[in-house]
Structure 1
């Protein structure tokens, strides 16, 4: 494992650790603005990468300008004028000449720009050519070139930075240029020499210079490849060390022979799918090994994860150990408890439910039973990780919907036993790119087959003019004995959002649309007991329609519900829509998901299209990841991972894969990173992960 020896003193005294305020053009006052960008030291400045680049490499002559074409020109400002149009619009015109002709840069209703332009300034303009009485560039991008400022020569690749208020690109570039050319030489090479050679990377100093001020796009490409690789290699190396650390621990070795297997299968009242059999084999191999199991089980809603988890739980209990099953909500924990209890009614397994709403006297009894070993399986919520919960001999930890829990919570539960096996489950399929980063330390099993006899849910988009048709269809299904969910994004009406709410709509639906039917209401602001009663009433068919918020996204199993209607579907993320759809289709009847709403952007339109085309959770996850990006897809921060500064996990997947292979190979050769050539990389991991070091052990 990586040790946590202090970083060498010389690093702390490096010029790169100096405050950014000492850079020419910053100073104490402006350094506060830099702080808002996360730039506190000169090192932070050098690693604040451009978000885009302007292509000034192909400067054209004004005489070549053709109406309708995009053009980049460089010339001197010949004159600046503002005037009022007939419609009272303010027009600013800046006339520019380059010796071959003259063109006007024109802006509407932006008179304040006039102060930026001075006659005889050199300016670069990029925009679409139009014609009025003369050639024009309408609202072009512009760069005013000072004599001492980049780029001094004609053309070039110009960086565009993510900035905050009261900071201009021009001024920031000027300060960045000083920082780069004065301090980039102090950055030490962290990548091992053999990796730089093998991948033919440019040096770190060259990469930093060329990511900010490349002479050509080829230089930029080489710099970016090097920096993306190093960022992802650092991440994957930490993953490889974390995984190695887990594998080096001595865990429990369970005996799972034919006798145990037969006893468990006798409690399962149906034939398992091939996917379930494959995953059970992978889990039992892990549990038999003396190395701790650290496995992620992915499977769509309804693919049978609970039964697989139950197999592992019973195997642990058969070996004399306790098991803990943690779910993210009380509703879900109770449902898991009831489901498993139903399977185990003819067994001797002692089960208890532990959630936050259990009364203190009853809770004390349960805690005593867990500590004395009188409970074999405890199912619960976050309540399981409280300090008061002590196990006699915890052998297996199962965590459901793991992305609802942070890494630290996983660690807390694991620490309640001596190296227990860990099975982590999710119904949110994880794109391959993310599973290699967020879960690079886990072995992954996938349930990619649904139990037989369940027709796939048909998903239809319902535009505003077809709403009444949809209500008639719901009524027809209810007359056949089915039930309906209708989900809204808000609990109550809000002045901020022009959206329908669950409370108001449940009244309208009951009074105006379905007066002869029974309409129930469920939302997160209700007390726990009230929510449970409404869900139980719906399950027992005392309501025909349940109006709800996304509180039903996880964990409610109503086989008789055949319609899921989602109102303002354009306001929900793809994964959320897919999770909601997973609440139906649990029985043998054909089920329908109706998406009400009018997509108001290309992204929301793409979400609706994806939902109507496929029920495949992995395809949906990949599309969701593309539309939302990694930051939003999962709260990356709660996983204890550093933020990515330059990498794009979708675009840079080939580099990610290469970095991962190299990192895992390096750790297999030098598990402690004790070789001299790996010193700097070890130091970089310690600096990058800082207080997250303990997480390397999860």
Structure 2
């Protein structure tokens, strides 16, 4: 059924084609877009004071009588002064270049005024360029005023006017889309009340009631959408793995002692693997916390039970690095390990795939190549995806469908705040490795402004190179940009090679290079044939070069905190003290705050919480690849209790009606689809 909410915004009174174009820049195209364009904050103008109660610099509303009006010109500025009073005192309202004031109001009028109080040296009270309107009008004073994000040509009053005109139209109805049983059970207000009070709250209490409803439904729709994308949260019967004596021997052969946190995560995995239900577990561990050995032991348990294991890494460099460490780890066992990536030749790949299908390979390591249709397993028992967020939400399931019900383990070296993990991985149990192995030294981090850059390279970096150590320099862009004032990797490479470090070997690495070229550069760096590696974030995850002791990040303000922490984790892998310097080119308070956090702590979980708080989930990973739609009202940080309730409701709805086909869920289904369209996600509902 067609709804007037889908009508073009230009047909609302006071808009028209020209203003509609300007509103389009705010992503307001339809009436629906407008009523869901919620204020970013509210200014409480409902609180009133008498004149004798006024305090300097406070913003407040007063109700006064106009006693006298004067107007004069001062240095081309037209000044209008209203002398006003109430039963407690008098004040002066001063307006600059607002001539209409003296033609709008008259002596004797009772008016409401909202503005900033100025107590002058002679104790006289003034308010300059304040909001003024007749008593009982309540359009801009005496109310809780919505404050919207704006664009050029659109004022706050414009948006307020458009919303008011929509609400004043008797033809436009906002239909309820949540099932009545949910509204009743969770004490939610109806949608009409919620939307109206989200824009023009009649009281603080009503604003609170309206916000609860909108936050609840945002979390509910987002979680339902993610359940649909992931294929749900069904508990299914899986493989029950038995712990063998051989596994105990492999545990004993590890040349170091597992940390308490590693043991805890490993025991949780073994418990899951031994149970009859399929394992779905996320293992989070900070950079260098030792997740790989836990994964290797889990895969050993799988292989020793006669099943195959798959380990999917996000990049070819990381896949090859893991392959080398797996070969070393399993060298004294009969467990056969192979690798397949995008650069594996057809002949090699055909042979590997044949062995995989016949069961002659126990563990296969690879990149996205593993989820191709032609990859067939004989009896896949365990699937591990590393750095899961880089694959996007949907890809996690593509490996696990290659067998009936394999166990699934998701590894992440990007510490994800529990709040975000609850949403992204609502269907997984979570293990956290929050302890670094003994001997890992904290990395000394400093942030410097760009103006100190030259001096830093000439002194501190040369000092480190003279010790025989190696250095990473990371840049946000591959090529020079006409739009952004940001150093590109190519510019920095040329500058360092020909100006600062003529006597050293400087290498270049970025995503536009061929896989073979990247491998060659990385190998040269590992073999100490390159002193300074200038790179983009392709070295962000997993690369292990113990002799590299310095990480330098150019234009550090362009990166998220979690990403900076990942980059910092590329050093500090050997026995020597390591350093990280963040060079930033921004004087904003937010940048200074973010750089300060990096200087203060090496704790990835603390950093990730701050990153989410400052940047929001949309930018948390530096891309929207994680598949989360934008939240208009809900805040993952502040509203965790509501999230938990909404997640429980979503789980119940999905279990009962996975395709949202029931009549009472039909409208909700449309809203879930609409929400995920914003990130180009086809819900296939």
What is the TM-score normalised by the length of structure 1?
0.82
Q: Does 1:225 align with 2:212?
A: yes
Distance 1:697 1:277, change over 3 A: farther
- SS of residue paired to 1:612: helix
In the TM superposition, residue 313 of structure 1 has moved relative to its aligned partner by 2.0
Report the more deviating stretch, 30-39 or 341-350. Answer: 30-39
- SS of residue paired to 2:309: strand
In structure 2, what is the equivalent of residue 54 of structure 1?
43
Matched ranges for 1:577-616 at <5 A: 577-597=564-584, 600-616=587-603
Distance 1:60 1:98, change over 3 A: farther
Offset from partner CA, 1:7-32 (integer Å, 9 cap, x none): xxxxx366656666665556788767
In the TM superposition, residue 628 of structure 1 has moved relative to its aligned partner by 0.7
In structure 2, what is the equivalent of residue 335 of structure 1?
321
Kindly indicate whether the alpha-carbon contact (under 8 Å) linking 1:292 and 1:422 is maintained by their aligned counterparts in 2: yes
Equivalent residue for 1:573, pick from 560, 581, 586:
560
Kindly indicate whether the alpha-carbon contact (under 8 Å) linking 1:71 and 1:129 is maintained by their aligned counterparts in 2: no
Equivalent residue for 2:400, pick from 414, 422, 431:
414
- SS of residue paired to 2:103: coil
In the TM superposition, residue 557 of structure 1 has moved relative to its aligned partner by 0.2
Q: Does 1:190 align with 2:178?
A: yes
Report the more deviating stretch, 76-85 or 207-216. Answer: 76-85
In structure 2, what is the equivalent of residue 425 of structure 1?
411
In structure 1, what is the equivalent of residue 159 of structure 2?
172
In structure 2, what is the equivalent of residue 119 of structure 1?
103
Kindly indicate whether the alpha-carbon contact (under 8 Å) linking 1:62 and 1:102 is maintained by their aligned counterparts in 2: no
Kindly indicate whether the alpha-carbon contact (under 8 Å) linking 2:62 and 2:114 is maintained by their aligned counterparts in 1: yes
Equivalent-residue separation in structure 2 for 1:70 and 1:593 (angstroms): 45
Q: Does 1:520 align with 2:507?
A: yes
Distance 1:344 1:201, change over 3 A: same
Distance 1:697 1:35, change over 3 A: closer
Offset from partner CA, 1:159-181 (integer Å, 9 cap, x none): 23345555444343234234336
Distance 1:569 1:186, change over 3 A: closer
Q: Does 1:684 align with 2:674?
A: no
In structure 2, what is the equivalent of residue 9 of structure 1?
none
Report the more deviating stretch, 20-29 or 334-343. Answer: 20-29
Equivalent residue for 2:372, pick from 386, 389, 392:
386
In structure 2, what is the equivalent of residue 88 of structure 1?
none
Equivalent residue for 1:280, pick from 266, 275, 295:
266
In structure 1, what is the equivalent of residue 108 of structure 2?
none
Offset from partner CA, 1:635-682 (integer Å, 9 cap, x none): 786444443221112222333244445666x56xx94169x9x97457
In the TM superposition, residue 583 of structure 1 has moved relative to its aligned partner by 0.4
In the TM superposition, residue 584 of structure 1 has moved relative to its aligned partner by 1.0
Residues paired across the two proteins, number: 666
Task: Please give the root-mean-square deviation of Cα atoms over the aligned residues, in Å.
Answer: 4.2
Equivalent-residue separation in structure 2 for 1:293 and 1:276 (angstroms): 18
Q: Does 1:105 align with 2:95?
A: yes
In structure 1, what is the equivalent of residue 428 of structure 2?
442
Equivalent-residue separation in structure 1 for 2:349 and 2:436 (angstroms): 38
The unaligned stretches of length 5 or more in structure 1 are 1-11, 86-90, 108-113
In the TM superposition, residue 206 of structure 1 has moved relative to its aligned partner by 2.6
Equivalent residue for 2:145, pick from 129, 135, 158:
158
In the TM superposition, residue 689 of structure 1 has moved relative to its aligned partner by 4.1
Distance 1:145 1:239, change over 3 A: farther
- SS of residue paired to 1:261: helix
- SS of residue paired to 1:48: coil
In the TM superposition, residue 533 of structure 1 has moved relative to its aligned partner by 1.4
The unaligned stretches of length 5 or more in structure 2 are 106-110
Distance 1:37 1:461, change over 3 A: closer
Equivalent-residue separation in structure 1 for 2:461 and 2:159 (angstroms): 59
Report the more deviating stretch, 318-327 or 43-52. Answer: 43-52
Distance 1:346 1:191, change over 3 A: same
Q: Does 1:259 align with 2:239?
A: no
- SS of residue paired to 1:104: strand
In the TM superposition, residue 575 of structure 1 has moved relative to its aligned partner by 1.2
- SS of residue paired to 2:96: strand
Equivalent residue for 1:322, pick from 283, 308, 318:
308
In the TM superposition, residue 409 of structure 1 has moved relative to its aligned partner by 2.0
Distance 1:106 1:297, change over 3 A: farther
In the TM superposition, residue 355 of structure 1 has moved relative to its aligned partner by 2.1
In the TM superposition, residue 320 of structure 1 has moved relative to its aligned partner by 3.0
Equivalent-residue separation in structure 2 for 1:369 and 1:81 (angstroms): 93
In structure 2, what is the equivalent of residue 8 of structure 1?
none
Kindly indicate whether the alpha-carbon contact (under 8 Å) linking 2:457 and 2:500 is maintained by their aligned counterparts in 1: no
Equivalent-residue separation in structure 2 for 1:27 and 1:496 (angstroms): 33
In structure 2, what is the equivalent of residue 485 of structure 1?
472
What is the TM-score normalised by the length of structure 2?
0.83
Distance 1:104 1:17, change over 3 A: same
In the TM superposition, residue 303 of structure 1 has moved relative to its aligned partner by 0.9
Kindly indicate whether the alpha-carbon contact (under 8 Å) linking 1:398 and 1:423 is maintained by their aligned counterparts in 2: yes
In the TM superposition, residue 422 of structure 1 has moved relative to its aligned partner by 1.6
- SS of residue paired to 2:424: coil
Report the more deviating stretch, 343-352 or 603-612. Answer: 343-352
Equivalent-residue separation in structure 1 for 2:392 and 2:227 (angstroms): 20
Kindly indicate whether the alpha-carbon contact (under 8 Å) linking 2:131 and 2:141 is maintained by their aligned counterparts in 1: no
Equivalent-residue separation in structure 2 for 1:593 and 1:627 (angstroms): 22
Offset from partner CA, 1:375-414 (integer Å, 9 cap, x none): 3332222222233333333322211111111122223333
Q: Does 1:357 align with 2:343?
A: yes
Equivalent-residue separation in structure 1 for 2:80 and 2:328 (angstroms): 79
In the TM superposition, residue 154 of structure 1 has moved relative to its aligned partner by 5.8
Q: Does 1:302 align with 2:288?
A: yes
In structure 2, what is the equivalent of residue 457 of structure 1?
443
In the TM superposition, residue 153 of structure 1 has moved relative to its aligned partner by 9.3
Kindly indicate whether the alpha-carbon contact (under 8 Å) linking 1:407 and 1:695 is maintained by their aligned counterparts in 2: no
In the TM superposition, residue 157 of structure 1 has moved relative to its aligned partner by 1.7
Distance 1:689 1:467, change over 3 A: same
- SS of residue paired to 1:325: strand
Distance 1:380 1:28, change over 3 A: same
- SS of residue paired to 1:248: coil
- SS of residue paired to 2:542: coil
Report the more deviating stretch, 164-173 or 427-436. Answer: 164-173
Distance 1:591 1:183, change over 3 A: farther
Equivalent-residue separation in structure 2 for 1:132 and 1:559 (angstroms): 67
In the TM superposition, residue 519 of structure 1 has moved relative to its aligned partner by 3.0
Offset from partner CA, 1:30-64 (integer Å, 9 cap, x none): 76766665556655544332222233213567898
Kindly indicate whether the alpha-carbon contact (under 8 Å) linking 1:74 and 1:98 is maintained by their aligned counterparts in 2: no
In structure 1, what is the equivalent of residue 527 of structure 2?
540
Equivalent-residue separation in structure 2 for 1:383 and 1:94 (angstroms): 74
Q: Does 1:206 align with 2:193?
A: yes
In structure 2, what is the equivalent of residue 4 of structure 1?
none
Distance 1:186 1:594, change over 3 A: closer
